[in-house]
């Protein structure tokens, strides 16, 4: 694959009008495939909680979970720029703890940047983290860690007040120094307006085609996560179906004595086995 995608390439893409591609990964083999496929950036999202760990939402994901999975992804990413999600409550207690946790994702996990959900209310934490030399990606609109405030997975920013709030938050985050902002599940014309107003790239997930880049959850696009289908996502393959097929065929072949065949087995000299039979 080509050389490493860097933070400078995010800026360059924005100024040159080039699209940025981002996908999530949580493990070494998937990250290796995405990296070799040439995705610009890999997000180790806290969607980990739902699509890998089987929780109902993302709020149960811990710092230890994130570090463990970021490490695996970073071992594979030779080209893609790896961003690690700051989990629920890791940046809400105080600036000291926010910087320490962001630093752990980078120094222990190995990612190049962290992502944080929220606007005005987290700006001071964002500034402190950036001052420590850690790049931050913002995340506005539907922010999954606030699911209990939203009352479910719902598009945001449809009223004039809420839309204005998201615009203001985006401007504040830019001012605080974030290098890009994920816009999740907001009307595409609002996302287009925000993208036009900002100098930094916007990355859409359910925010339409006019953002600088796009991000999707890999288990959704590969059919690996079969719990929920989202309007904003697209299934490009049915890897989940292929795993199910493989498992069913394996079960059938074992039960019917087809697997393992001779070619799957190891051999021993006939004389040795005859001698062993005599003494056992």
**Least gap, CB of 103 to ligand KIV (angstroms):** 20
Q: Evaluate the CA torsion angle 71, 77, 83, 88 in order and state its sign.
A: negative
Partner residues linked to 85 by β-bridges: 115
Nearest alpha-carbon partner for 203 in 21, 7, 64, 77: 21
- Min dist CB 213 to ligand KIV, Å, is 11
Q: 221 or 239: whose CB is closer to ligand KIV?
A: 221
Closest Cα to residue 46, out of 58, 55, 30, 36? 58
> Rounded to 5 degrees, what are φ and ψ at 204?
-90, 140
Distance of closest approach, residue 207 Cβ to ligand KIV, in angstroms: 10
Nearer to ligand KIV among residue 10 and residue 257 (C-beta)? 10
- Minimum distance, C-beta of residue 23 to ligand KIV, in the bound complex (Å): 9
| CA 121 vs CA 116, 126, 127: distances in Å | 11, 10, 12
- Active-site residue (options: 161, 184, 196, 271): 184
At closest approach, how far in Å is the CB of 232 from ligand KIV? Answer: 10
Q: Please, are residues 70 and 109 in contact by the beta-carbon 8 Å criterion?
A: yes
Q: Which is nearer to ligand KIV, 41 or 98 (CB)?
A: 41
Q: 58 vs 98, which CB is nearer to ligand KIV? A: 58
Q: What secondary structure letter does DSSP report for 223?
A: T
Cβ count within 10 A of residue 201? 24
Largest CA distance in the chain: 88
For residues 206 and 155, what is the distance between their CA atoms, to the nearest angstrom? 9
Does 36 participate in catalysis according to the annotation? no
What residues line the site for ligand KIV (CB under 6 A)? 24, 43, 45-47, 85, 182, 184, 205, 215, 217
Tokens of 30: 């998937």
Known catalytic residues? 184
């Amino acid at each position: 694959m080509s050389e490493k995608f860097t933070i400078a390439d995010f800026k360059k893409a924005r100024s040159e009008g080039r699209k940025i591609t981002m996908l999530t990964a949580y493990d070494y083999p998937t990250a290796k495939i995405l990296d070799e496929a040439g995705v610009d950036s890999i997000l180790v999202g806290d969607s980990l909680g739902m699509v890998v760990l089987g929780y109902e939402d993302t709020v149960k994901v811990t710092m230890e979970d994130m570090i463990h999975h970021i490490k695996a992804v970073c071992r594979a990413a030779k080209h893609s720029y790896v961003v690690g999600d700051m989990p629920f409550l890791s940046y809400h207690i105080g600036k000291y703890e926010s910087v320490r946790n962001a630093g752990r994702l980078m120094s222990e996990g190995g990612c190049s940047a962290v992502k944080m959900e929220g606007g005005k209310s987290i700006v001071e934490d964002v500034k402190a983290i950036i001052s420590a030399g850690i790049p931050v990606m913002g995340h506005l609109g539907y922010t999954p860690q606030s699911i209990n405030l939203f009352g479910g997975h719902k598009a945001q920013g449809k009223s004039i007040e809420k839309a204005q709030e998201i615009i203001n938050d985006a401007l504040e985050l830019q001012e605080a120094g974030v290098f890009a902002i994920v816009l999740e599940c907001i009307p595409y014309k609002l996302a287009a307006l925000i993208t036009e107003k900002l100098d930094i790239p916007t990355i859409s997930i359910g925010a339409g085609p006019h953002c600088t880049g796009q991000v999707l959850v890999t288990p959704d696009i590969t059919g690996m996560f079969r719990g929920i289908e989202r309007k904003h996502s697209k299934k490009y393959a049915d890897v989940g179906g292929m795993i199910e097929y493989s498992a069913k065929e394996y079960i059938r072949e074992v039960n019917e004595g087809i697997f393992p065949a001779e070619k799957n087995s190891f051999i021993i000299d006939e004389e040795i086995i005859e001698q062993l039979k005599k003494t056992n």
